[in-house]
């Protein structure tokens, strides 16, 4: 179902209010009731509190977790962990503003709220940002899978992938071929499912696999701490000149991307049996995910120190100096690779919906048009596949999406809606917070982009005669 793709005359019963609701551009990206075979909606009792927390946590925790240990290498443990906690609080504040204004405007989707505040172009802008952000995230997923299964080379050092370690180097376990097979065998079938509730079991399994990754990583680090083979990590950033200071800001897009979940908040809110619980759902999910992020960052950086790569999974290719090192390396990498494979369709689902809403705002529902559904799915999967083969690292992908679309979705748009304040509900404190969020987001990401561009220029200086 696309945002704005339903005819204005079509009416259905709302599960919560049982009142007639007009389905227009404010209709949620995900339906509050399951599509029936006759094109209507089948009644269901609504999502539980724990189910909502699970869904939102799945939206938050993804590939960003793999890059967070590398942010500790830049910021040091103290500042790095403090920044993760700060971003969690800032995310909670931005979602609270989003939901409060949505309630007042009676908007049941992010696109609907932006449309209410800024008209057609506001709705189109948020759809475009979700498209850019989610494509970037999916590209990162594929890059990580390529690193894990086929290996990667960083600073002239080759880190062998799982398949390479098991079978040696062959054409069939090269990066391109492995990603092609994964796309055709795993991603394409899962992305072909027309209802997101069809992915419930795969989502549950994906969370279990992520927990396996975290538990094994913590266990390895604790063992090495007890045996005294872990060096004391850097607690604070190493700032010696202007370049090293500017380099600190390159972690901002990574931290922003790690907490972006705003495009699914309305959908989860719409499905709640008691939607007054949404604030508690958000805070519980953010607390859970922040704990996972802190633990992964702490123990990942403790384990590898300054040798931590942009994708920490790529570090699990050497002898860790513990019993069964090779087996544990494989467990860590394979479990998280499988996790990403199963999370892929969860991120792909809103990507396809938003692209359809942007390109075909007046067309019939996407679920009922097989040709349009297949064309959009194939086209998007092809774009993600090509991006994963040509973008060198997850850090580069995070820098682009985090500094552009993600920061708009997470902070700039909620702040802009609050400052627009069509219904006069924003307090002075809200407006001060929003100005702070916009200034911080724009300044931090502008410096991050400048720092990346400057580093790239120094790395590839213009050759002169």
What crossing angle do the helices spanning 262-271 and 325-359 adopt, rounded to 10°?
80
286: tokens are 């953010």
For 267-292, how does the pLDDT look when each residue is reduced to its tens digit (9 = 90+)? 788 877 777 888 998 999 999 889 88
Residue 349: closest CA among 197, 202, 191, 203: 191
Spatial separation of the C-alpha atoms in residues 366 and 352, rounded to whole Å: 9
Going by the DSSP 8-state scheme, the letter that residue 403 receives in this structure is I
Each residue's pLDDT tens digit, 80-137: 999 999 999 999 999 999 999 999 998 888 888 999 999 989 999 999 999 988 888 8
> How far, in Å, are 17, 46, 117, 165, 323 from residue 418 at the CA level?
26, 29, 9, 53, 55
Q: Could you tell me which residue, 78 or 56, shows the higher pLDDT?
A: 78
User: What confidence score (pLDDT) does residue 336 get?
Assistant: 81
Best mean pLDDT range from 197-201, 246-250, 278-282? 278-282
pLDDT-based confidence at 171, cuts 50/70/90?
Answer: confident
pLDDT in tens, 223-243: 888 887 777 778 888 878 777
CA distances in angstroms from 388 to 135, 246, 291, listed in the order given: 10, 27, 29
User: What pLDDT was estimated at residue 37?
Assistant: 37
The DSSP letter of residue 172 is: G
The answer to whether the CB of 112 falls within 8 A of the CB of 321 is no
- The Cα 139–Cα 343 span in angstroms is 13
Percent of the chain with pLDDT strictly greater than 70: 79
List 153's β-bridge partners, or say none.
158
pTM for the full model? 0.77
Q: How far apart are CA 436 and CA 261, in angstroms?
A: 21
Q: Report how far residue 37's alpha carbon sits from residue 465's, in angstroms, rounded to the nearest whole number.
A: 69
Tell me the mean pLDDT in the region 325-334.
Answer: 84
162-171, 353-362, 412-421, 436-445: range with lowest mean pLDDT: 162-171
Q: Are 428 and 443 in contact (CB under 8 A)?
A: no
Residue 335 token pair? 């479990």
- pLDDT number for residue 430: 92
What string of DSSP letters covers 177-234? HHHHHHIIIIIHHHHT-S-GGGGHHHHHHHHHHHHHHHHHHHHHHHHHHHHT--PPPP
Mean confidence (pLDDT) of the chain: 78
Structure-derived torsion over alpha carbons of residues 140, 67, 159, 325, reported in degrees to the nearest 10: -120
Give the residue with greater pLDDT, 325 vs 20. Answer: 325
């Amino acid at each position: 179902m696309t945002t704005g793709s339903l005819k204005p005359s079509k009416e259905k019963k709302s599960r919560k209010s049982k009142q007639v609701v007009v389905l227009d551009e404010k209709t949620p990206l995900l339906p509050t009731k399951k599509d029936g075979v006759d094109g209507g909606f089948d009644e269901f009792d609504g999502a539980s509190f724990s189910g909502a927390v699970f869904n939102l946590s799945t939206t938050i925790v993804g590939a960003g977790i793999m890059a967070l240990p590398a942010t500790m290498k830049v910021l040091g443990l103290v500042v790095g962990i403090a920044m993760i906690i700060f971003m969690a609080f800032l995310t909670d504040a931005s979602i609270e503003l989003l939901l409060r204004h949505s309630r007042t405007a009676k908007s049941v989707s992010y696109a609907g709220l932006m449309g209410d505040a800024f008209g057609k172009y506001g709705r189109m802008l948020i759809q475009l940002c979700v498209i850019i952000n989610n494509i970037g995230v999916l590209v990162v997923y594929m890059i990580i899978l390529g690193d894990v299964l086929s290996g990667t080379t960083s600073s002239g050092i080759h880190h062998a992938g799982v398949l390479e370690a098991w079978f040696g180097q062959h054409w069939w376990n090269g990066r391109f071929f492995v990603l092609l097979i994964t796309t055709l065998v795993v991603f394409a079938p899962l992305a072909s499912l027309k209802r997101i509730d069809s992915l419930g079991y795969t989502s549950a399994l994906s969370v279990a696999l992520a927990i396996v990754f975290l538990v094994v990583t913590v266990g390895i680090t604790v063992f090495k701490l007890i045996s005294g083979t872990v060096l004391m990590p850097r607690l604070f950033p190493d700032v010696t000149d202007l370049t090293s200071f500017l380099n600190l800001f390159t972690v901002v897009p990574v931290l922003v991307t790690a907490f972006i979940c705003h495009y699914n908040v309305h959908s989860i809110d719409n499905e709640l049996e008691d939607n007054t619980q949404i604030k508690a759902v958000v805070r519980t999910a953010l607390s859970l995910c922040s704990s996972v992020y802190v633990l992964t960052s702490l123990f990942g950086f403790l384990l590898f120190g300054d040798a931590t790569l942009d994708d920490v999974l790529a570090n699990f290719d050497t002898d860790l100096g513990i019993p069964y090192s090779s087996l544990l390396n494989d467990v860590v990498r394979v479990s998280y690779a499988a996790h990403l494979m199963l999370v892929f369709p969860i991120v792909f689902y809103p990507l396809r919906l938003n692209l359809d809403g942007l390109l075909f705002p007046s067309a019939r529902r996407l679920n009922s048009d097989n040709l349009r559904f297949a064309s959009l799915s194939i086209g998007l999967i092809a774009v993600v596949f090509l991006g994963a083969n040509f973008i060198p690292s997850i850090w580069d992908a995070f820098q682009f999406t985090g500094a552009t679309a993600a920061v708009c979705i997470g902070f700039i748009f909620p702040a802009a809606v609050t400052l627009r304040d069509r219904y006069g509900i924003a307090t002075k404190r809200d407006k001060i917070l929003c100005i702070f969020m916009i200034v911080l987001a724009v300044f931090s990401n502008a410096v991050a982009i400048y720092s990346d561009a400057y580093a790239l220029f120094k790395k590839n200086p213009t050759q002169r005669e």
